[in-house]
Amino acid sequence: MKFSNTYVGLGERFYDKSQPTAVRSPKLLLWNTRLANQLNIPQELQQDAESLAQYFSGNQLLAGAEPIATAYAGHQFGSFNPQLGDGRAHLLGELLDDDGKRWDLQLKGSGVSAYSRAGDGRCAIGPAVREFIMSESMKALGVPTTECLAVVTTGETVYRQQASPGAVVTRVASSHIRVGSFQFFASKGDVESLTALRDYAIARHFPEIKQQAANHSVALVDKVIEKQIQLVVAWMRVGFIHGVMNTDNTAISGDTIDYGPCAMMGAYDPQTVYSSIDRNGRYAFGNQPNIVNWNMARFAESLLVLHPEDKEVLAQMQGLITDFPERFQQAYSRMMADKLGLQNLQQGDDALIALFLARMAELKLDYTKTFDSLTKSLTDTKVQATIAADLGPCYQQWQQRVATQTTSAQELQAAMRKSNPVVIPRNHHVEAVLAACEESGEATTALDFLAVLRHPYEETEQSAHYQSDDSGFDQGYQTFCGT
Ligand code: AMP
Ligand code: MG
């Protein structure tokens, strides 16, 4: 295990050199063996839960780690805050995996930094376990995401809505560079740091740009837009609502980051919002494409600080933002076509997709179950009868449309299954598991849940329990920022 610290190399304006604050009695709650092996964490250390608890609480530092809290700004619910930054997180450094890919290792809940404002620098057990479960689930669903290596309980109490046990979660990310990282320097007019950040981001995430003659700022915005489109389309495939798509929670890698007030949509309704602070539905399920478009406009704006009075760059950036809705729509239609088993998008397919969504919204059908049943209906007459009744004329139209393709029912089913999960982390199950972990201080229920979530496209005896929807629960469900 060998750390490098390239972000530290960017210079002092990028971070606060802050050390984790030790906790009273660290205990390892969750460990991600798959990820640990990918990062080549020595087996000997992996077998030693006590040492893991020391290292992944921040009580002891791994050799070569240089903890920093990174600086960033951000638009939160549309209002700009020029000074945010890691108020309760410490980036320990970067590890290379066997493919030469660079991964950030970050402790979250590890104490205050210069950016903590009034916060206590800590994290409660519930949000820490939520981040672990949700990111593992998203990874298995095939949605780009940051990952969690460990959750360690601290033996201390944190005070939020109520008193809760504290925890530190270790996040692994392809980087922690956010749109807000660019905004931080852009708002100060710090051209030197902004250029350094742009070039660093290109080298780390999009090295192919270096060889391009095109303007590097424009090329970067173009790449990040592509990543963000893929990301939000993937969210919408599985019914994920991020809940707090502020620009500081938008990673330029295109990975899901900051599992705060996130939730899964049960009954299909584009206006679904669960977050207690999102009173206007800014981050509602169906508004996520608009918001990511808006966030990309803020990203382009911040890079434009490097090109004052360059009309060509301005026009190119404006073009990227103007073209966004069309580009998003194409990716979204392709994704929905995959869910419906349509191989090539043809005329009339968009209308069929719209009809499906309208029917689901009208009858408040469960999003995951509807597509699961549709997939099963190809080979199961009982399921077919039920789903045909639910979907009404939509179902016949869909049958006629897929009958024009030459694939067999089995092949079509296998293809559709890739886009339509059997199991998602449903809100009532997530909450029950978090409550059990909090109460017992043990991970048993989380481990049972994770075992199923790691195979979301398989129906097993264990999965049946977690497939139950609970629209009653979802109706009154409220999520809170994990702060
Ligand atoms: P979030 O809503 O988690 O994306 O956080 C927004 C900002 O608040 C970031 O700058 C966080 O580092 C900071 N923050 C959140 N919770 C805490 C906390 N408990 N202590 C200090 N800073 C925090
Ligand atoms: Mg955040």
- Domain tally, the chain: 1
Give the pLDDT of residue 285: 98
Q: Which helix (H) or strand (E) holds 34?
A: helix 33-38
From the CB of residue 18, how many other CB atoms can be counted at a distance below 10 Å?
22
Give the domain extent around 141.
Answer: 3-176
- The pLDDT assigned to 482 comes to 62
Distance of CA 412 to the CA centre of its chain: 29
- Token readout for 377 is 């209906």
Q: What is residue 71's three-state secondary structure? A: coil
Q: Decide: 207 and 229 in contact? Cβ < 8 Å.
A: no
Q: If you measure from the C-alpha of residue 65 to the centroid of ligand 2, how many angstroms do you get, rounded to a whole number?
A: 22
Assess if residue 87 is contained within a domain. yes
Q: Does any domain span residue 49?
A: yes
Q: Is residue 407 part of a domain?
A: no
| Gap between the Cα atoms of 468 and 235, Å rounded | 21
Q: Is residue 481 in contact with ligand 1, taking CB distance under 6 Å?
A: yes
User: Is residue 150 assigned to a domain?
Assistant: yes
Contact 30, 150 (CB under 8 A): yes
Look at residue 471 in the predicted model and tell me its pLDDT. 78
Whole-Å CA distances, 231 to 184, 228, 269:
23, 5, 20
Neighbours of 351 (CB within 10 A): 10
From the candidates 86, 248, 372, 474, give the one annotated as an active-site residue.
248
Collapsing DSSP to helix, strand or coil, 330 comes out as: helix
First to last CA, the chain: 31
* Ligand 1 in reach of 366 Cβ (< 6 A): no
User: Does 109 contact ligand 1 (Cβ within 6 A)?
Assistant: no
Nearest to 13 by CA among 67, 70, 94: 70
Task: Give the DSSP letter of residue 249.
Answer: G
- Geometric angle at alpha carbon 389, from 386 and 390, rounded to 5°: 85
CA distance 212 to 209: 5
Q: In whole angstroms, what is the distance from residue 430 CA to residue 440 CA? A: 15
Residue nearest to atom 7 of ligand 1 (CA): 84
Collect residues with CB below 5 Å from ion ligand 2.
249, 258
**DSSP helix/strand/coil, 450:** helix
pLDDT of 469: 80
Q: Is 86 touching ligand 1 by the criterion CB < 6 Å? A: yes
The answer to whether residue 64 is domain-embedded is: yes
Gap between the Cα atoms of 89 and 94, Å rounded: 15
In a domain, 107, yes or no: yes
Residue 289 lies in a domain: no
Q: Is the CB of 88 under 6 A from ligand 1?
A: yes
Ligand lying nearest the CA atom of residue 178? 2
246 token code pair: 């502020």
For residue 426 and ligand 1, the question of a CB distance below 6 A is answered with: no
Average pLDDT per consecutive 10 residues, the chain (483 residues; last block may be shorter): 94 97 98 97 97 98 97 97 98 95 98 96 98 98 98 97 95 98 98 98 97 94 98 98 98 97 97 93 97 98 97 98 98 98 95 97 97 98 97 96 95 98 97 96 97 96 89 87 64
- Tell me, yes or no, whether 269 lies in a domain: no
Report which protein residue has its CA nearest ligand 1's atom 15: 483
Q: Which of the listed residues 91, 283, 483 should we mutate to test ligand 1's pocket, taking the one with most ligand atoms within 8 A of CB?
A: 483
Which atom of ligand 1 has the smallest separation from the CA of 246?
A: 4
Of all helices (H) and strands (E), which one includes residue 166?
Answer: strand 163-173
d(CA 115, CA 81): 12
The ligand 1 atom at the shortest distance from the C-alpha of residue 483 is 16
429 lines ligand 1 (CB under 6 A): no
* C-alpha separations of 372 from 85, 96, 164, 354, 364 in Å: 41, 38, 37, 18, 15
Atom in ligand 1 nearest the alpha carbon of residue 85: 10
The residue whose CA is least distant from atom 11 of ligand 1 is 87
Nearest to 70 by CA among 154, 6, 125, 144: 6
* 8 Å CB contact between 337 and 352: no
Any ligand 1 atom below 6 A from CB of 121: yes
Catalytic (active site) residue 248: yes
Pocket test for ligand 1, best of 18, 86, 88, 257 (most atoms within 8 A of CB): 88
Please name the amino acid found at residue 181.
Answer: S
Separation CA 419–CA 404 (nearest Å): 20
Burial class (CB in 10 A: 0-12, 13-18, 19+), 2: exposed
